[in-house]
Amino acid sequence: MGKRGPKSGYTHMSCPNHECTFYGVTGEGNVVSNGTYRIQSGIVRKFICKECGRTFNSRTGTIMQGLHTPSNKVEECISFLDIGLGIRATGRLTDVSKGTVKRWSDRRNRL
């Protein structure tokens, strides 16, 4: 595999997939950027491991911390809120209770 340009390879990142050859190994260049998405406090970068195809992101110390809900559910809700949907509509679309969506929304607005 040759070079893929300056953006490929986050050598300080390691793959979080236990099954992966490069699990926890840094400096192999197997982790590449897979885009970004916006959250309340900035940009979260998404990564993908070229070895196993696992995607993950750089969310630490974000809204997801300490929540028991799967983070993709939270992200889904937040993305609906971001495009201007109301709490009730977001709850309906994501199958999350209104109260919960409200809580995430408040949390997001505070951060």
Chain residues binding Zn ion by CB under 5 A are 15, 17, 20, 49, 51-52, 54
Q: How far is the CB of 94 from Zn ion (least distance, A)?
A: 28
Shortest reach from residue 15's CB to Zn ion, in Å: 3
- Placement of tokens 């840094």 in the chain: 26
SS (H, E, C) 22-88: CECCCCCCCEEEEEEEEECCEEEEEEEECCCCCEEECCCCCCCCCCCCCHHHHHHHHHHHHCCCCHH
Name which of 1 and 83 has its Cβ closer to Zn ion.
1
- Of 57 and 94, nearer to Zn ion (C-beta) is 57
The residue (of 27 and 42) whose beta carbon lies closer to Zn ion is 27
CB of 25 to Zn ion, least distance (A): 9
CB nearer to Zn ion: pick between 48 and 78: 48
Smallest gap from residue 33 Cβ to Zn ion (A): 15
Helix (H/G/I), strand (E/B), else coil: 101: helix
Taking CA atoms, 109 is separated from 78, 85, 100, 103, in Å, by: 11, 15, 14, 10
